[in-house]
Every structure is written in structure tokens, then in C-alpha cells.
Structure 1
Amino acid sequence: MTIRTKRGVLAAVAALSAAACFALPVATSLSAKNVARHDVLEITFVHSNEYENPFMDAAVDVVFTSAGGREMRVGGFYHGSDEAPVVMAVTQANGRAELGYAYRRHDLWKARLAVPETGEWSYVFTFTNMAGGRATGSGRFACTAGGAACHGFLRINPSNAFRWVHDDGTPFYGVGLQECLGDNGRSGSLLAGMNLEGPFRENRPASWPPLPEGPLFLQGPGGGLVNGDIYFRRYTQCGFNLFRYSQNNCSPKLFNEYDRYLPHECRMVDELLQRVRAYGLRVMYGLFGYQNVHQDAPEDERKMAGVKRFVKYSVDRWGAYADIWQLLNEQVATSAWYAVIVPYLRSIDPYRHPVTTSWERPELDGIDVNAPHAYQTEHPLISDSMTARNAARWKAFGKPVIVGEEGNRVVMTNAPPGSGGVWDPASAQRMRVRLWAALFNEMSFIFWNTSYAKDGHYMNIWLGPYERQHVSALQAFSRRLDAAVKMATPVLSDTNTARAYGLASAECAAAYLFHSSTHTAPLANLAVTIDVPRDGAAYWYNPADGAIVTAMTAAAGIQTFTAPSFVVDLALLVTAAGAPDNDNDGAGNDVDQDDDNDGVPDTFDVFPLEPSESKDTDGDMIGDATDADDDGDGIPDDANANGIPDFKEMDMDGDGVPRAHALPWDAFPDDPNEWRDADANGIGDNAQCP
């Protein structure tokens, strides 16, 4: 039976049908019969209909029960369709043309659960509509232990309010990124046309200062048009582990009016979050971004009811993928607005995710995370102390700090020589120092990545291979820290030329040294005194490239270590767990001759911690694997000599699958035998077929 409803007569239809409910035709299927712990199980409901507003005119409720009797209730949501949409230009009320999407069928609902326990699970669902129709059903599935990477959601560390752990107690030291996202190729995906690093723009505005001479300031085409698999593989293999997304924030809106959402835009967010999670990134999910959510009218129950309905839709649809909820982006809302929305969000969230917002409101009881935004281009000699001061100020509320947007900022018409806003010659070093100072001061950054061009914007940051390498070095170091580390105070032999920051637990101790007087000459004979908790080894570690400068044994107790000479920064790790190991191959960086396991020995690798890059022929800080003009001669590369620049070719390996602006895309654009990587492990699906 198909029920047609109109909003003006729904109440009447419901009243007439109340006395006699009728069965709805609903078919169901499971995404899998076996799911790993903390992975997402999805139930699909197929229901033909002619609803005027399927978002509101039908509802799904599912109760899951574990073998031990734990119950979890989740709501289903209207998904739209599994068919490819018709993509078209839609003129908005303001006269602006935007992409729109249309389906021929509108028959899919879904429900999702991030499964928290192993064992046999059962579920019971109820599918209803406003005319009195009803369908019920049940099913079973199994949850297995999963792999070593299945750690669960992020939680505030119960033993240190400024740190993070996963559900299983393993520590999380976050380094995040975010991007402007859109369906740039009209493919119906946010992931089909992303960008890696490019040089200064060829069409640089004439009003901006001229660029200096030299390879770092070359102008040219960006060669980095890629798909989401290539993009996220590049960043996650170097240690980025946190991703921020919010609607209507250099990203599509998910609704134009309350109670009537945009199904394909929501489906594109599904795809984004599923790939992000496949690559191991945790998620800060922004519910509203810049959308108007009546933040000045919390007393208006009708308006707030509409806001709450989208909150519920978001929890039902994306709660299984999110780790942290962020309510707004750079908006002001009254305390009364938060007093309405935050308790409601908590009441319907089965996963108990922490809550934050922007502009930040850490003084409110309902806000768990302080998430300020910070853009600046400070002098390189104060990157550490600026970060430490900011951390102390933001931590004053006793809550963890994740800087929700971090990057550089300049006025482009008065920019220093060689500055492109998002990048300048000292940008990678400043980023590195900020990251190390943040790690040692119990704070995390989410960088706003704008790397298609070194002058892509007056603010944000250009994240190229050196920047990724710096993150890789940091994360290899942090993997030797346990969840119990807290700030400590090392003692320096000379505080006029250097600053020091410390961490310590019952298992390890660490120090970060920063040369604060100059970066043009090395600092020698600096000694640092720390409390070593147990016998182990001490490693002097280069934050720039992860090299072990020297190693020695270290006995428990108060010990003084003399640092090798260094120019900018140096780190000390004392542990019994072994040296940092960037590629996790079991051979620490002190003995491994190829720390990124890319087949190129470190001594010959320009980017020894970036496994996708090893050469930089023209010295522009863009690896040859990405550079559109490897030798910097102004002529784009044409490796196959077919007269078409490589950066314009969409199928260089000739396998018939384009690398971008297409569905499907080629996750391995240089391998004619591979194009898909379903599990995001860097090995093509064909190679993994039995």
C-alpha cells in the first residue's frame, strides 16, 4: 500500500487512521552479518512511497541488544536513494546559482550503530508513518574483536582533563586538518576533486607584492588535483589523525529550510565521513556551521523545535561516525540557546560524545571542549612561547583545548617578501614548533589546509611534504608516550638562550628544547635536568626529520643530559619502550635506514618521513610526485610525451578510471592494475583478492 500525504491534511489523515493501523511494505537488509567492534553496522529500509516530505512523514526506531543485555536505541533517518543523482544548476532566492541534485526514486531509510561490544546482537525495529502505517521486524548479527586499530571513540582522559584517550584507554595525541569541500567536478561527490600542494599562482593579483627570485617562489599550475583516497592517504600515513567538518563552512549546506533537508548533500557527507573513518581519522563534526539556528530566540519553542529536529537527524545519521559534536562555527549564541540545545543533544546521543562550539564558550557547564580559532604569522623566535601562553590561557577553564582552526595570516597587499598568506619560507618551521609546544602543553591543533597554491588565501596554511614530515616525526615521538603523561618542569643550564618544556609519567619522561635567541647559529653545550621514572634509554631526537641524533642508557632518578648542538629545536625521550619508529616496522629510527619504508634510503630521500615523496628536483618544497613542473623550467611535465601536460591528464595509467572528477575515481592513478582501495590500507583491492 502506498500512502500519499500532504502537510495540510496530515493531521486529518492520522486521525482517521488512528483507529485502524495498517501494515507498511518495508524491506530490510544489513550491511554485514559480522562487524568489527566500534565499526558501523547499517540497516537499510526500502519503502516505496509518495510522501510530500519523507524527512518528517515517516520515522524509524531501532533497539539493539547485546548478548550481555545492553540496550542501545537509535533513530533511523530518511536517506533518499541509492541511485546516482541528476546534477543541475539551481538558482537560489538571492540569484546565485548552486548545484542541485534530484532523484527519481525516494525510497530509502537507514539506521546506524557503532557497535561497542563483541558477541551476538539482536535488534527490533519499528517503521511508522503519520497516516498510521506500521512495520516491525527483527534480526541478528555478530560483533568481532576487530583489528589493532579499532580503539573506539575519543573520550576525555579521566585522569587528566586536558588529554584524550579512546574507549579502550589508548592515548590520543591529535593533529588535525580540514578543507574547503565542494562538488567541484559536478560528480555528486565531495571527494572526487580535492587538491594537494601547488606553487604560487600564475594569476597572482597585480596588487600583491612581487615575489623574490628563487625556486621557492616559482609560479605555475597546481598539479595536485586528486581524489579523496589519495588525499587522505597522504596525510594519514604521516600522522594526521583528526578531521573537522561542518556544513555551510566552505562546504555545502545540508538544509535550506527546517524539516526539509537536502538528501544528496547529506549523502555526500556520509561518503566523506566513511572514507575519513576508513583512513583512521577521528571526527569533530559541526552540526550547523554558519547556518541560522535562531540563536537569538531560544524562548521561541516553535523555532527551537525545528532546530532540535535537525539535531536529532544529525545524531541519527552521523553520530556513529563523529567523536566530538561542534554546534556552531564562529557564531554568537546566547547562554539560553545553549541551555536549550545542549541538554537535548545529550539526551538523544547514544554515544555520549563531548560537545564544543565556536565561537568558544568554555565557561558554560554544557560545553566540554574549548575550541578557539587562531590565525597568526608570529616571529619564528616566539612560536613556542606564544603557543605555551595561549595554552595556559585557554586551559584556565579546566577543559581540554582543541584549536578548531589554526593557520597563518597576513595582509596580502602588505605581505612580507615571499609570503603567500598560507605559506612563507618559515611556515613549515613555525608549524612544527607550534605542534611540539602544543604537545608539551596539553593542546591540539586542527589546521585549515589550503595547499592548492602557496598564495591560495590570506589565511589558513599550506600543508606540503615538509609539513607532513614534521607531523610524522611528532607522532612517532608521541607513540612512545603513555596515556598518563602530564606536564613537568625540566631545568635548563641556560635560560637566556633556550626554553624547555617537559612531560613525565611513571613510565617515561620527555623534554622539548627551543633555541630562543637566534636561528642562524647552533646552540651548543645546553644541559637539561629531568626526573627519570625508571631505567631505560635516552634518545636525542630531531623534530624536523625524526632522526635519532644520539642515544644512551638512562638510570632512574634525577639526571642531567647535555644536548647535542642544534639550531632551532631538539627533543629528548627517556623510555624503556624503544626508540621512535616512524614506519612502525619494528626497527626504530636509530637503526632503520628507510624510516618511511618507501624503498628510498633516508640518506637519498629528500623527504625521509613522507612515503609518497622522495625527490624535489627544483627545490620548491613540492615533491616530484605531485609537482606539475619538476625541474621548474616553466614548462609543465609531459612524461608520456603525448602533448598533454601531465597535470591535465586524468588517466595517466590508462586503466580507464580517471584520478579525479569522476565516479568511480582511481585511488592508484599510477598503477594500471589497481583503482580501488575499499579498506583504505594502501593496497589495491585487486592485489587483495584471493
Structure 2
Amino acid sequence: MSRSLPQNVIAHRFGVVVVYVGLLLALTFTTRTPVAGQNPVSTPVTVDALNPIPINSLFDLPFLWTGALYPQPQNYVSLVVTFVSPSGTTQSVIGVYEPPSLWRVIFFPGEMGLWSWYGIFTDGITLQEYRGTFTVVDAPTPIPRPSPAPSIVFDPNSIQTRTVRDDMRTATREAALEQITPTPTGAELINLSVPAYSVIEIPFTWRSGVYTNPHEDVVVSAVFTSPDGRSYNIGGFHYAANDYRVRFAPTVVGEWVWNVRIGDGTQNRDYSGTFTVTESSSAGFVRQNPANPMRWVFDNGEPFYPVGLGDCILDRDEDDTPFNEMGMDGPLRPPVGERITEQDRTGNRVDMETYLQTYGAAGFNLFRVSQNNCAFGLFGRISPEGNTYRLREGRWGDELLRMLRENGFRVYMVLFSFSPPYPNGAENPEEMAAIHRAVEYIVNRYGAYVDFWELMNESRAPSDAWYRSVVEHIRRIDPYQHPISTSWERPDLPFIDITSPHWYERESALESDLRTVQEIARYTSFGKPIIFGEQGNTGQNWDVTSARRMRIRLWTAFFNEAVFIFWNTSHAMDYLHPSAANIYLGAEERAYVRVLQDFTQMVDQDAVIQSVRVSHPELARAYALQSPSMAAAYIVAALDQTNPTRDLTITLNVPVTGAAVWITPATGEVIGLETVTAGIQTLVVPDFTIDAALMIR
């Protein structure tokens, strides 16, 4: 049976939109007074609050439902309450089960005026509707309120209730909510309007506790049809008890149509709706640059010059979040036997928002999410008997990718870790089917946030057929057609889009540019973009010249059309590992990245490598780029990086007459300025120490 259902909408900043779909259920709101009742009937219950509510006061909304009817009430019964503010913004809160028959919703109204609210109480078969209104007034005295106000959700993996980050907090942030009035009869669809590349999320209530494997026994299939008639198929995923979801990022402006079927093969329900996509400030997904296949651009044609990060993301202290233990700006600690304080033992830790804001402001703009690689894992089991996925970690993944996109990072996501499942399974249909289902789960759940896929981390499948099968399946199911890589690198495979080696070394700073060029040269003959998926030092993450080496490597890589993703280990400056000590990225290193990224903003998307000649190659090496409207060069001292390098010239082709500006990459300070004419020109290099960069426009 097909039915059209009302939607309430929550807009997350940077265009993430959640659409709740279900029968319109208007919950009764009473001030600290339980809504009492036995198991629900079909008649909606409406109760309006008689007394005004002080702004930001805590509301504990209890509801009765006979839990003894179910072996595991928390897995059979769900309660969702949606609050609509006077200005039209909405927040939805999931109820928490308290044995034997009580469900609670906690809410903090943060806007004065008349509120309405509605919701659903269901076990997947029986439904009860509630709705109501209440007035919020100014508080006579300040009332403490958490910031942001948390949603309380029940985690079926634990007998405890937990507080998680409020994904609805953006009603007061940059992505403002469209003015939406709920449909009181439930007979109409609300026409949603979202910017292009926003993430639309559609949750469905379906009883999950009755299934042996709720991840795969219930199937959610969606079709999104664009204004030009193209159809995009995407599957759903099991989000929580009785909660299945579909995510999609529309890319075309105009009116879209969606159709969703959810069911277990015996019972199915069909849903449909429309939404309008408007122009967006988003540049779109990352694509291979058609003007230069070694570089990257966004869907709108703007160049994307990545500087990447990877890091450990673990819940070490077991406080139910991995997002409060990110290492940043840690000290050089005392020897192990002399570490007394907590910082001595663990280094310096910050929360993920602080971490991403700090590195994002410095110009880092790509993050490698490598699950189960010093990070939480997403898979429970991958097996021909049925795959399972970790519910809590899945929501951690949601939160991580949302935070990354909110803070300006593009996502480079690894599907499998060090050991890909069934590496010899290419000839076993059942094993490959299990792998394909695991891939579908990742693509369905996270594809709308991701820009790059990587098949595995530092591993290889013995058969090329394994790679081919997985890649071809990704291309069949990924509506966004993200580029695909793998590690260890396999540039020889024609269906792999990116070459992704890992490189750790502690070379002399006098050779950092040369070693960078040599590592890149190993892969240029394949003609594919090169992204070093991990880059860092050997021996120790930091030493007195590591920041300098990092700067020289990074500038040299940019001028040679390669990308670095640094494995960041910055909780302390004394992390040791003989072969992969990662790299310390502190304030000095971040300042260097900021200068580079300011420089890259002047490099055209069609710039390519050009030749450059140094007058005294024994003193310095140089690298150059040009497009029809600009030229750039980078020069690094090869003999002496302590004293100034003097009396050098470089010769290169200048495509246009313009200003030639020399800067020092350490600070961005201008050290030379002149006007040059188009043609082959020999330019005097200002005196510099370590390195210098030139921009001609």
C-alpha cells in the first residue's frame, strides 16, 4: 500500500537536512505532567499547556506504554517528538525507555512565543498520535541550560541512556531552517526547499527487534528523480532500534521526486514525496580536473588544492565518545619514568570541534577517515551468513563526517582496514556478495558526505579480480561516482583512479625537495592523480628540522602536482616509531600551510608544470607552474639553509605581462616585487634563506 506522509524538517548548518517521515503524530505537551494512557488507539490525543513556560527551562515529558507486552520494549517501541518554534524552526527528540512502562522526552524551549509540537508513539504496527501547543515566556531569573541542548537517545547496545551531540543545533546556526508549518491532517506533503548538495536524510519507523539481523532482514530502497528526468538509486541503512534511514545529496536545481520502499519481503510500505533544490554556495563534489588530470576541481569548476590530515580517533577513556581526545599542540614530555602529570602521560588533548576549527583555519582541507586504523570500526561482521554493523560506531561516523564538512574538510574514506574481507573470495559468489553488501552499507550511509573512496589500508588482495569486482560494484551503486583509490597503491589497475602511496622518511632538509620529487616520479608514468595517503617522519614525529622538512616537502609536492595527507600525531612531540613515526603539526607547521594555501588561491585550475632553469643549480633547485594567465615558481636552497642564498637568477616562460611578487614561504612576507613582460625571461632571485616562492599575474 502506498501512502504519502507529512514531513518535518531540520536544517543543519552547511546544508545538512533531516526529513522525518511517518504518520503525523501530535504529542500532548503538558508542563511536567505525564500524559497518561494505556496502549494507544487510533484517535489523536491533543492537550495544550495552560500555563506559560519559562524560556530554556527543562521539560521532562513522560508517556505511558505497557512495556510488559514486549520482550525488549526498547527495541520494539519508539517515541519521537517534534517541537516547532514560533519562528518555524523544528527540533526532534527521541524518547528514552525507563522500565517498566515509561518513555521520556527531554526538551529545552529556547525561543519565546507560541510553540506547537507533534510526534509518533509506535511499535511498528500500532500507532498513537499526540499534538499540542504551549507558550514560552521570558524567565524571571536566568535558568541554566546546556549548550547546545542535548538530544537523549537510547542506545540498544547498552542498558544505560546516553547524551549525544544535538544534531538539531543548527536551527540557530548558519544553515537557517525554511519556514515550515506541519500538516495537521497528515494528508499532505510539505514541500521542502534545500540548496544543492545539501544532505537530505529521511528516517522511517519500522520495528526492528523482531528480526534476527535487523541490518539485512529489512531492506530500504530509494529512487530520487531529478528535474531533468535522471534517476538515482540509493539504499537505506539501520540507524537505531526501529529506525531506518535514507540519505541523499541532490546536485541539480529544480523539483525532485523521491520514492522509498521499506520492508522485509513479506510486508512492504511505499512512500513518496517531492522537494525543491535551489542554487547553492557549495562548490560540489571533488572531481578529476579535465584541464589537468593530475589535479582536482569541484563540480562548479573551481580548483581544489588539498592539504590533508589523518589521525587517531578512539574512545580511549571509554566515555562513549571518541571526539574529546584529539592530540594537538602537545609538549616535548619528560622521559617515561619521570612523567607525573596527566599531560605528561597523555600529552595535550582537545575536542574534535576545536581540532578541526584550528587545522581548518590553517588551510588543511582534506581528512582521511581510515576506520579500524587507530580509529573506531564500523563493521560488526562481514559474512555470507549475514553482515552486521555497529550501531554506536555508525552514529560516530555520521557525526564525524558532519563535523568535517561543517569545518570545510573534504572526506577521503577508507572502506576496509588492513585486512580486506575474503581477499581470496573473487571466485566465491557468496563471499563477494557479503563484501558487496558491506560496500553498499558504507556508500548508502556516508556517500553523500564523501569525496574519495579508498578500498583498503596498507594491504593487497592477491587477485586483481577482487579489486575489479569491488570497484565495479561501487560504480554501480554510488550515485555520486566518487573517484576510487586503494592502499597499498595499485596504479597499474586501469579501474583505479588514484595512486595512493605512503611515505615516511627522516631525510636531510637539504634533500627534502629532491626526495619528494623522487617519490612522486615513481608514479607519474601511470598518468593518474597522486595522493600520498600517509606522509610523515621515521624515528620520531618531531625534531628540530621536521617543520622545515614538512614545509619543503609540501611546497615541492604542490609544484609537482601531488597531494600529501599527513598522519598527524600532535598530542606530544616525542612519539617514537622506527618506520612510521607520523608527524607533529603544531602552530609553526600550521602557519606554513596557511601561507601555501594563500598562495594556491592565485594558481589557476589549468596550470601545469613548466620548465625553469637556475643559474647555479649547485646552490638551489627550482620548480615552476604556468597557465595562460599566470606563472609561479618555487626555489629551495640545496647547499646552505642557514645563511642567505645570493646572486641567483631563474629563467622561465612568462605567459603574460604582470607583477612578479616574491615571498618567503615561512611567513608570506614579500621579499621582492617587479613588473615583467611576457616571454622567456630571466629574473633575479632576491636573497633568501631556505626557500622562496614567486607569483606572476
> TM-score normalised to the size of structure 1?
0.71
Deviation at 1:28, TM superposition (A): 6.2
Does the alignment pair 1:448 with 2:567?
yes
Q: Could you tell me how far apart the structure 2 residues matched to 1:300 and 1:336 are? A: 11
- 2-structure distance, mates of 1:384, 1:120: 51
Counterparts of 2:447 and 2:418, CA distance in 1: 20
Q: Which amino acid aligns with 1:240?
A: F
Alignment of 1:509-658 (within 5 A): 509-575=631-697
Q: Note closer, same or farther for the CA distance 1:237–1:367 as it changes in structure 2 (3 Å cut).
A: same
Deviation, 1:344, is 1.1
Matched, 1:120 2:120: no
The 1:336/1:175 distance shift into structure 2, 3 A limit, reads same
Question: Which of residues 184, 199, 205 is equivalent to 2:331?
Answer: 199
- Pairing partner for 1:173 from 283, 301, 305: 305
* Farther-moved stretch of structure 1 (227-236 vs 58-67): 58-67
For residues 29-428 of structure 1, the aligned pairs below 5 Å read 30-32=9-11, 34-49=193-208, 50-80=210-240, 106-130=241-265, 132-147=266-281, 150-204=282-336, 220=344, 224-258=348-382, 259-333=387-461, 334-410=463-539, 421-428=540-547
Q: What 5-or-longer segments of structure 2 have no aligned partner?
A: 13-192
CA-CA distance at 1:127 after TM superposition: 1.1
1:129 and 1:464 map into 2 onto residues whose CA distance is 52
TM-superposed deviation, 1:159: 2.0
Shift of 1:140: 1.9
Q: Distance in 1 between matches of 2:431 and 2:9?
A: 36
Q: How far did 1:319 drift?
A: 0.8
The AA in structure 2 aligned to 1:121 is W
Structure 2 distance, partners of 1:233, 1:550, is: 33
Q: How far did residue 227 of structure 1 move?
A: 1.0
Secondary structure of residue in 2 paired with 1:68: coil
Q: 1:298 aligns to what SS in structure 2?
A: helix
Contact kept, 8 Å, 1:196 with 1:224, in 2: the verdict is yes
Post-superposition Cα deviations, 1:217-275, rounded to whole Å, max 9, x if no partner, equal xx957673211110000001110010001211111221231211111111101100110
Q: Answer whether contact 1:428 1:466 (CA < 8 A) is retained.
A: yes
**AA aligned opposite 2:431:** K
**Distance in 1 (alpha carbons) for counterparts of 2:508 and 2:628:** 36
Contact 1:515–1:569 under 8 Å retained in 2 = yes
- Deviation larger for 27-36 or 111-120: 27-36
Residues in 2 aligned to 1:117 and 1:133: alpha-carbon distance in whole angstroms: 34
The range that moved more, 153-162 or 184-193, is 184-193
Distance of 1:128 and 1:256 partners within structure 2: 23
Larger Rg: 2
Q: CA–CA distance in 2 between the matches of 1:238 and 1:387? A: 22
Deviation, 1:564, is: 1.2
Kindly state the Cα deviation for residue 141 of structure 1 after the two structures are TM-superposed. 1.9
Instruction: Give the Cα–Cα distance (whole angstroms) in 1 for the partners of residues 551 and 527 of structure 2.
Output: 26
Contact 1:153 1:166 in 2 (8 A): yes
Task: Work out the CA distance in 2 between the residues paired with 1:462 and 1:277.
Answer: 23
Deviation string 1:160-219 (CA, Å, 9 cap, x unpaired) is 12111111111111110011111234343332322212112235369xxxxxxxxxxxx9
Distance 1:493 1:248 in 2: 50
Q: CA RMSD in A?
A: 2.0
Alpha-carbon distance in 1 for matches of 2:212, 2:250: 34
Alpha-carbon distance in structure 2 between the residues aligned to 1:158 and 1:204: 52
Cα 1:160–1:23 shift into 2, 3 Å? closer
The range that moved more, 47-56 or 390-399, is 47-56
Residues 295, 482 of structure 1: alpha-carbon distance in 2 compared, 3 angstrom cutoff: same
**Which whole-Å CA distance do the structure 2 matches of 1:461 and 1:109 have between them?**
40
| Superposed displacement of residue 31, structure 1 | 4.3
Relative contact order, CA 8 A, sep 6+: which one is greater?
1
Residue identity opposite 2:399 in structure 1: E
Q: 2: CA distance between counterparts of 1:25 and 1:263?
A: 29
Segments of structure 1 that go 5 or more residues without pairing to the other structure are: 1-21, 81-105, 207-218, 411-420, 576-690
Query: Shift in Å at residue 549 of structure 1?
Result: 1.4
CA drift at 1:24: 11
Report the Cα offset of residue 118 of structure 1.
1.7
Aligned counterparts of 1:440 and 1:325: Cα–Cα separation in 2: 25
Alignment length (residue pairs): 504
Distance in 2, Cα, partners of 1:25 & 1:302 = 37
More strand by proportion, 1 or 2? Answer: 2
2:552 pairs with 420, 425, 433, which one?
433
- Larger CA deviation: 119-128 vs 361-370: 119-128
Give the Cα–Cα distance (whole angstroms) in 2 for the partners of residues 465 and 520 of structure 1: 22
| Further displaced range: 509-518 or 33-42 | 33-42
Say if 1:202 and 1:221, in contact at 8 Å, map to a contact too.
Answer: no
Does the aligned pair in 2 maintain the 1:30–1:43 contact within 8 Å? no
Q: Deviations over 1:608-650 (max 9, x none)?
A: xxxxxxxxxxxxxxxxxxxxxxxxxxxxxxxxxxxxxxxxxxx
Q: C-alpha separation between the residues in 2 aligned to 1:252 and 1:340?
A: 26
Check the 8 A contact 2:420/2:459 in 1, yes or no: no
Q: CA deviation at 1:129?
A: 1.1
Measured in 2, the distance between the counterparts of 1:46 and 1:395 equals 51
Identity %: 41
Q: Which residue of 2 aligns with 1:212?
A: none
Counterpart CA distance in 2 for 1:273 and 1:506 is 37
